[in-house]
Amino acid sequence: MAKAKAVALISGGLDSLLAARVVLGQGVHVEGINFFTGCCVEGHTHAIRKRDSEKPKRNNALWVAEQLGIKLHIIDVVEEYKDVLLNPKHGYGANLNPCLDCKGFMVRKADEWAVAHGFDFLLSGEVIGQRPMSQRMDTMPVVVRESGAGERLLRPLCAKLLPPTLAETRGWVDREQLHDFSGRSRKPQMALAEKYGFTEYAQPAGGCCFLTNREYSSKLGDLWNARGHREYELDDILLLKVGRHLRPRPNFKLILGREEGENNYLRGYCSQFSHLRILSHRGPLGLIDGAADRDDLLLAARLAARFCQGRDAAQVEIEVHEHGGETWTTLVRPMPVAEVLREWYV
């Protein structure tokens, strides 16, 4: 009999690693799938910030797939994901994380992919009670129903607490060898990891994306607010991960690199934004997001000077590049710390 084929949703964390391993151990052919929404924790900040450069810059989903010896398909869902983030039917979690809608969306995409590529079922690392929104006893069936995956979705780590799925009724996997994990404790997962010899694995604290992060959500809310609409492009949400963001006036925001890696990254956006370069001292590159007039740009220049090595100097020389306009140089007095209002920090 040909091996059954399963697609595993791989986030890069321990749970999806174990779930896939459990099913692999039953002789099923497993391939991984991972979705890039633009808000993922993977990669970006490590890639951008130079200070992290000594740490390995591995992508956890790829690393998990390699540990398991399975193929991994990474799918760009940035465009489709916008609707999930902007119009979540089930609302947001503690921050701007639409976890329940997001899970339903990812399971649906994985299911479509599985069907299109001749796979028999899909599996995820969800555990009942593990997360407050998407992994509760009452919300687990919502994901099954709304994704359209129905009984094609197997959750190997808590399958024994749920009705049998296709993989079990067809005999592709033995239900008795699946698990009954529930609750927030990580002990059963850690014991299982030990059993399989996984000693090193990622344990993202808040979840798999930046939307569970309070600071990130606050920057996203500010962006929507300032623009008067919530449409966004990939660059918008990537830029929220980089630099210090200050909004001294409602019509513009100043983004300042915090170190060399961030300055390098921001430099790539100079052709799209008005920006500030500090000439007389070492300091951040500043991007101006929004419509800023000359007075706004001078304010931004004084503020940027506050964050350069000339912060205590009488004057700092700054080159101002107006987007689609002139480039001019100005000497400014760095803004005293007392004038930098706390509420400017986004």
Partner 1 sequence: MSGQSAPEHLDARRLLCPLPVIRTQDRIVDMRAGDILAVCCSDPGARYDIPAWCRINGHKILEISEGDYEFTITLQVGESDAVQPGD
Residues of the shown chain interacting with partner 1 in the complex, contacts defined by CB under 8 A: 31, 34, 36, 40, 42-44, 46-48, 53, 56-59, 61-63, 65-66, 69-76, 113, 117-118, 238, 264, 268
**What element of type H or E holds 269?**
none
CB of 225 to ligand SF4, least distance (A): 20
Which partner from the list ligand SF4, partner 1, none does 18 bind, CB cut-off 5 to 8 Å by kind?
none
- How far lies 126's CA from each of 21, 190, 272, 311, in Å? 14, 15, 41, 50
CB of 145 to partner 1, least distance (A): 26
Which partner from the list partner 1, ligand SF4, none does 71 bind, CB cut-off 5 to 8 Å by kind?
partner 1
What's the token pair of residue 138? 């009452």
Closest to 16 (Cα-Cα) out of 173, 133, 116, 126: 126
Number of H helices, E strands in the chain: 12, 11
- Rounded Cα gap, residues 323 and 246, in angstroms: 19
Q: Closest CB to partner 1 among 61 and 153?
A: 61
Q: Closest CB to partner 1 among 52 and 146?
A: 52
- Per DSSP (E only), the strands in the chain are 5-9, 29-36, 72-76, 121-123, 153-154, 244-249, 252-256, 274-278, 286-290, 316-321, 327-332
* Owner of token pair 């101006």: 288
Q: Closest CB to partner 1 among 188 and 204?
A: 204
CB of 97 to ligand SF4, least distance (A): 4
Q: Closest CB to ligand SF4 among 15 and 296?
A: 15
- Count Cβ atoms below 10 Å from residue 250 Cβ, excluding itself: 9
Q: Closest CB to ligand SF4 among 92 and 113?
A: 92
Which partner from the list partner 1, ligand SF4, none does 134 bind, CB cut-off 5 to 8 Å by kind?
ligand SF4
**With contact defined as beta carbons under 8 Å apart, do 318 and 279 qualify?**
yes
Q: Closest CB to partner 1 among 226 and 270?
A: 270
CB of 237 to partner 1, least distance (A): 12
Q: Closest CB to partner 1 among 49 and 155?
A: 49
DSSP state of 335: P
Which partner from the list partner 1, ligand SF4, none does 63 bind, CB cut-off 5 to 8 Å by kind?
partner 1
Q: Closest CB to ligand SF4 among 103 and 306?
A: 103
User: DSSP letter string over 208-263?
Assistant: SBGGG-HHHHHHHHHHHHHHTS----HHHHHHTTSSEEEEEETTEEEEE-SSHHHH
Closest to 273 (Cα-Cα) out of 242, 313, 308, 314: 242
Q: Where are the alpha helices (DSSP H) in 37-133?
A: 44-48, 60-68, 78-86, 99-116
CB of 239 to partner 1, least distance (A): 11
Which partner from the list ligand SF4, partner 1, none does 103 bind, CB cut-off 5 to 8 Å by kind?
ligand SF4
Task: Give me the amino acid identity at 154.
Answer: L
Sites of contact with ligand SF4 (CB under 6 A)? 97-99, 102-103, 134, 207-209, 211-212
Which partner from the list ligand SF4, partner 1, none does 209 bind, CB cut-off 5 to 8 Å by kind?
ligand SF4
**What element of type H or E holds 264?**
helix 260-267
Which partner from the list ligand SF4, partner 1, none does 110 bind, CB cut-off 5 to 8 Å by kind?
none
CB of 129 to ligand SF4, least distance (A): 15
Which partner from the list partner 1, ligand SF4, none does 224 bind, CB cut-off 5 to 8 Å by kind?
none
CB of 74 to partner 1, least distance (A): 5
